[in-house]
Amino acid sequence: MYLVVVLIGASSIIWLYIRPVYEDAIIEERVTLISEYQQQRIREAENFTGYWFLAIQELRDQIRENPHNVEPMVQNHIRLFPDLSAIHITELRSGEYFEIRTANASDFPPSDIIREISYPVPDLDGISVTWLPSIQQFYLLAEFEIAGQPYLITAQFQSNTLQEILLQNVLGDGSFSAIWFVDGSVIGTENRNLPNVLFQQITSVSEQRIDGVDHLLVTSPIRSLPVVHATYTDLELVKNPVNQIFIQNLGLLVIAFLLLAFGGFVLANRVRQPVEQFIEDVEPFANYDFSRFFRDSPLPELAGITDKMEEIRKKLAHYQRINVDKIILQEQRNRLLMTYAVEMVAIYDENDRFTFVNKSLTSLFDQISPAGQPLAIGDFFGLKGVSLNMESNSTEKISGYVIDTRYRELQINTGDGHRFFINAHLINLQGVDSRFIGGMMLMNDVTKDREMEQMRTEMIHTIIHELQNPVFGCLGLTELLMVDNELPESQRKEYYEVMSESLHTLSGLISRFLDITRLESGSLVLKKEPIHLYPVIAKVVKSFKRVCEEKNITIDYKIDDTPIITAAEDLMEDMVRNLVSNAIKYGDDGRTIEIELKSSDGYSILEITDHGYGIPEGERDKIFRKFYRAKAHRSINGNGLGLSHVKEIVTRHNGTISVESNPEIGTRFRISLPENGENTNTQP
């Protein structure tokens, strides 16, 4: 029966837990294979169209340089590129055009329509692309000017070869590729009913149900074209090998368990009686009765053990007679160890009166009861300031005794305003006649843990508050875009820009928080090297030049010939950028921000004075906490992570940071960094 249960349990674990993990690994491997093949198709397509882009760019440059030789240039390009079927050059103001076509060229759609549906080609200024899959035509548009007159080159390419490159599939049966366009059209479906694919800037993996069959979908954007390449693979074909392997393994497992069950049955019948005899002989040990001797075992495997146990029984019976003095000595040792234990320990008798209290608990009693130490458990829990937050208990019987364990969470408020959180365990012992014998109380001070938990909770609430605004904003706009299909394109673009800005804000907040966390945890390895702070400061100030001009702010330097320090340059730049950004934000226009860099007693000293709003005295010790912002200036855009990041950077470089502030004068941050890159005992 036990073997059947084990067999069912093992089979369930293999099928329900191990098989999905292996299946996920197979799917992940298949996704990697599909993704690599897909990227190969995309690279081949981009290389193929890249010649088209270069051809149109070269034609545009040639016409600019020699506008009187247009026709030979165009004919030469058509001869060089077999897929190029026609070139149409239009003077945009007058509408006049020049055109050269091949026999297989199609009629050109109106220029304004092509321009409206075209998309710019990345890294190629003035060149855009339009792909019309319905007529298998590919258009490249290049705008330029000659003598102030705007012109447009429209080149028509046959897209058959490009489609063959992207739709080629060598992944086997159950897989196929498709090309999705921005307008929702698709080629390569082969009469399949495919759900729409979302356009994303990264490769994504998902599952879709197509005509009643689950498929694995891998989509990747083509950077130079307004299309997404999608590869579909029948998910069942990927999973079938996994199921077959595990069914075979389960079959082997069943056979192995049947053989084991048979062998176990034979062995159990052989050893049952000798084992039962051995157990009968061992049972008196539980009650410290060593008078019963061990009988000889008819089972050879147990004969040696029986002989050894008989020797042990004789020795235990001997030691039992002489061990009373050792027990008394051991009790004294235990009391000495409990006296100096960090945990608070007390022992009480059948009347709940304390018979032993160690030093840690005595110290607590002195704080909460200066008038006198409690004499009993009830006196302690009845003290003023001791309150019970939670209580639970459990009972267990051992060798005729009853162990009653009670757990209590206590909050203790002392007369001097201190508060403690204590976890107390009361272990009560009852005899065989249910009479209370006595007990022991163990208590642990968890005040610091509670304070840390409260700090973590406050930080999580702050993070959620900072994240929910961009998330809810993007969610609302996304739902609006999904529901309202008649929104004008300009308004959609505005919504997309708002969503992009919100997501950038969210990404920046998360990145900043992760940077601080990695620095605090020590997981970020600093690449320190000898640097000078002045070029770092100059680089940061230069990046704020436009903002300073808009707010009429002047940044005044005072730079001494300071020595080189050993530091991570990127973190030094983050440190200076945060301080300068705050100096610009927290103050009125028309100010002068002072930056001073000097050397003093082996330290490089950086001081930044903003002459801005200042920080109230009660908040200066809080501004380096994560997400903390001064109450008077919370309307100014920010997330409260900048100064926390600065402090962690300075700490990791063995430096110090201090702040001086006056609401009438402004704020000055002062950073000291050791010039030899090492910590010292004193700092200026």
Q: What is the pLDDT of residues 628-660, one digit of tens each?
A: 555 555 545 555 567 877 888 888 888 999 888
Q: Quote the percentage of the chain above a pLDDT of 90.
A: 7
Residues 485 and 543 in one domain: no
> 355: helix, coil or strand?
strand
Could you tell me if 443 and 343 are in contact, meaning their C-beta atoms sit under 8 angstroms apart? yes
Same domain, 101 and 76: yes
Last residue of a domain, one of 390, 410, 441: 441
Rounded to an integer, the average pLDDT of 8-32 is 74
State how beta strands 592-600 and 554-559 pair. Answer: parallel
The rounded distance, in Å, linking the Cα atoms of 442 and 405 is: 11
Split at pLDDT 50, 70, 90, the class of 526 is confident
Same domain, 543 and 621: yes
What CA–CA distance (Å, rounded) separates 311 from 305?
10
State the pLDDT at residue 86: 92
Tokens of 579: 């301080």
Are the CB atoms for 526 and 652 separated by under 8 Å?
yes
As a whole number, mean pLDDT of residues 515-533 equals 71
pLDDT digits (tens, 9 = 90+) for 401-448: 888 888 888 888 877 767 788 888 888 888 767 788 888 888 888 877
3-state secondary structure of 341: coil
The two structure tokens encoding residue 181: 């366009």
Is residue 446, in this structure, part of any structural domain at all?
no
Nearest C-alpha neighbor of 222 from the set 80, 391, 53: 53
Q: What one-character DSSP code corresponds to residue 128?
A: E
CATH of the domain at 67: 3.30.450
Is residue 521 scored above 60 in pLDDT?
A: no
More confident site: 289 or 184: 184
Task: Give the span between the Cα atoms of 441 and 191, in whole angstroms.
Answer: 77
Q: How high is the pLDDT of residue 150?
A: 92
Closest CA relative to residue 200, chosen from 183, 177, 216, 223 = 223
pLDDT of residue 221: 92
Report whether 615 contacts 634 (CB < 8 A).
no
pLDDT above 60 for 293:
yes
Selected residue with higher pLDDT from 579 and 481: 579
Tell me the C-alpha to C-alpha distance, in Å, between residue 601 and each of 348, 533, 588, 607, 650.
Answer: 62, 17, 36, 16, 18
Give dist(CA 651, CA 679) in Å, integer.
10
Residue 628 lies in a domain: yes
Give the residue numbers spanning the domain of 551.
526-674
User: pLDDT value at position 298?
Assistant: 72
* Confidence band of 517 (pLDDT split at 50, 70, 90): low
Among 347-361, 397-411, 476-490, 668-682, the range scoring the smallest mean pLDDT is 668-682
C-alpha angle 479-482-486 in degrees, rounded to nearest 5: 120
Mean pLDDT of 234-260: 75
**pLDDT of 395 above 60:** yes
Q: Name the strand (E) or helix (H) holding 368.
A: helix 359-368
Residue 145 and residue 98 share a domain: yes
Q: Residue 305 carries which side chain, given as an amino acid letter?
A: I
What average pLDDT does this structure show over 543-570? 84
Residue 374 C-alpha from the chain's centroid = 51
| Residues 376, 391: Cα–Cα separation, whole Å | 19
Which of 11-15, 77-81, 575-579 is the least confident region?
11-15
Confidence of residue 220 (pLDDT cuts 50, 70, 90): very high
SS3 assignment, position 515? helix
Give per-residue pLDDT as tens, 325-364. Answer: 565 566 677 777 788 887 889 888 888 888 888 888 888 8
CB 420 within 8 A of CB 445: yes
Give backbone dihedrals phi and psi of 551, rounded to 5 degrees, phi first: -100, 5
- The pLDDT mean for the chain works out to 80
Per the structure block, which two tokens stand in for 75?
């004919």
Q: What is the pLDDT of residue 288?
A: 67
Given the structure tokens 């000798």, which residue do they identify? 274
Q: What is the pLDDT of residues 43-99, one digit of tens each?
A: 999 998 988 899 899 999 998 888 888 888 888 888 888 889 899 999 988 888 888
Residue 163 forms part of a structural domain = yes
Pair (51, 129) in one structural domain = yes
List the single range of 72-76, 204-208, 235-239, 345-349 with lowest mean pLDDT.
235-239
547 and 489 share one domain? no
Nearest Cα to Cα of residue 129 among 53, 78, 197: 53
Task: Give the contacts of 220 (CB within 8 A, at least 6 positions apart).
Answer: 35, 38, 39, 42, 203, 228, 229
Q: Rounded mean pLDDT of 230-239?
A: 84
CA dihedral 248, 249, 252, 257 (to 10 degrees): -140
Distance CA 644, CA 648 (A): 6
Q: Which of 34-43, 249-258, 446-455, 553-562 has the highest mean pLDDT?
A: 34-43
Domain of 498, CATH number, reads 1.10.287.130
Least confident of 8-17, 123-132, 138-147, 462-471: 462-471
- Between residues 185 and 626, the one the model is more confident about: 185
Highest mean pLDDT among 17-26, 291-300, 546-555 belongs to 546-555
pLDDT over 70 percentage in the chain: 81
Lowest mean pLDDT across 91-105, 164-178, 207-221, 475-489: 475-489
| CA 185 to each of CA 38, 46, 231, 232: distance values in angstroms, whole numbers, following the listed order | 20, 21, 16, 17
For residue 10, what is the enclosing H or E element? helix 2-13
My answer on whether 292 and 278 are in the same domain is no
Q: How far apart are CA 284 and CA 524, in angstroms?
A: 61
| pLDDT at position 467 over 80 | no
What helix, strand, coil percent values describe the chain, rounded to 5? 45, 25, 25
Flag whether pLDDT at 3 surpasses 70.
no
Total of domains in the chain: 5
Crossing angle of helices 19-65 and 160-167, in 10° steps, is 160
CA distance 625 to 37: 49
User: Which residue carries 């990697």 as its tokens?
Assistant: 32
Residue 182 lies in a domain: no
Average pLDDT over residues 596-614: 87
d(CA 369, CA 483) in angstroms, rounded, equals 68
- Considering the domain architecture, whether residues 636 and 585 belong to the same structural domain is answered as yes
> Do 331 and 355 form a contact (C-beta atoms < 8 A)?
no
Q: How confident is the model at residue 170 (pLDDT cuts 50, 70, 90)?
A: confident
Length of the chain: 684
> What is the pTM assigned to this prediction?
0.38
Check residue 679 and give its pLDDT: 43
| Among candidate residues 465, 498, 520, the one where a domain is terminated | 520
pLDDT band at 142, cuts 50/70/90? very high
Asked whether residue 180 is assigned to any structural domain, the reply reads no
Identify the band that residue 466 occupies on the pLDDT scale cut at 50, 70 and 90: low
183 part of a folded domain: no
Residue where a domain stops, chosen among 441, 472, 496: 441
Terminal Cα distance for the chain, rounded:
78
Long-range contacts (CB closer than 8 Å, 24 or more residues apart) made by 22-27: 22/242, 22/245, 22/246, 23/239, 23/242, 26/238, 26/239, 26/241, 26/242, 27/216, 27/235, 27/238, 27/239
Contact 152, 111 (CB under 8 A): yes
CA dihedral in degrees (204, 206, 211, 212; nearest 10)?
170
Examine the pLDDT at 124 and tell me if it is beyond 70: yes
What is the pLDDT, as a whole number, of residue 155? Answer: 92
> Which H or E run includes 209?
strand 204-210
Do 45 and 155 belong together in one domain?
yes
Give the contacts of 257 (CB within 8 A, at least 6 positions apart): 3, 6, 7, 10
Closest CA to 638 of 681, 683, 597, 585: 585
In sequence order, what are the beta bridge partners of 406? 393, 426
**Confidence band, pLDDT 50/70/90 cuts, at residue 680:** very low
Question: Does residue 118 lie within any of the structural domains?
Answer: yes
Residues 332 and 475 in one domain: no
Residues 344 and 316 grouped into a single domain: no
pLDDT at 614: 79
Residue 163 confidence (pLDDT) above 70: yes
| Same domain, yes or no: 150 and 14 | yes
What is the C-alpha to C-alpha distance for residues 606 and 583, in angstroms, rounded to an integer?
14
Mean pLDDT of 318-323: 66
Q: Quick one: how far is CA 484 from the chain centroid?
A: 34
Does residue 64 lie within any of the structural domains? yes
